[in-house]
């Protein structure tokens, strides 16, 4: 049972990976269950590339992803370590230190 992307998920995914032109399927033919994991593992060419991509997100979009992660819907723990660090920095910078604490607690990084 895979997750169905919402309109917001699709909008964010397309912003982060415009070169996929809206293709939400993995090479194995399954819909991606997460937004960030394919960006981290397949699309971004480096940690710097990943960071540049997520920096394009508006604060509301980033907070939406944070809420999905807190709810256990979005997977951040399996991202590359540098990419996790980039997400954490961006949450603190674009949203708040308090929101970062909530995210870290939800992920068990407290």
Is pLDDT of 1 > 60? no
Tens digits of residue pLDDT in 25-51: 888 888 889 999 999 999 999 999 999
Asked if residue 15 lies in contact with residue 52, where contact means CB atoms within 8 angstroms, the answer is no
Would the pTM count as exceeding 0.85?
A: yes
Tens digits of residue pLDDT in 71-106: 999 999 999 999 999 999 999 999 999 999 999 999
The pLDDT assigned to 29 comes to: 86
Catalogue the E-assigned strands of the chain. none
The pLDDT assigned to 27 comes to: 82
The pLDDT assigned to 3 comes to: 79
Could you give the maximum distance between any two Cα atoms of the chain, in Å?
A: 39
Q: In the chain, what is the straight-line distance between the N-terminal and C-terminal CA atoms, in Å?
A: 30
């Amino acid at each position: 049972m895979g997750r169905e992307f919402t309109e917001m998920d699709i909008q964010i995914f397309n912003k982060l990976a415009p070169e996929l032109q809206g293709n939400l399927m993995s090479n194995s033919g399954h819909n991606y269950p997460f937004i960030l994991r394919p960006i981290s593992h397949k699309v971004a060419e480096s940690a710097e590339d990943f960071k540049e991509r997520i920096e394009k997100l508006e604060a509301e979009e980033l907070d939406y992803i944070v809420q999905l992660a807190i709810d256990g819907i979005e997977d951040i723990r399996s991202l590359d370590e540098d990419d996790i660090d980039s997400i954490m920095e961006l949450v603190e910078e674009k949203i708040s230190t308090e929101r970062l604490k909530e995210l870290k607690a939800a992920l068990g990084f407290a």
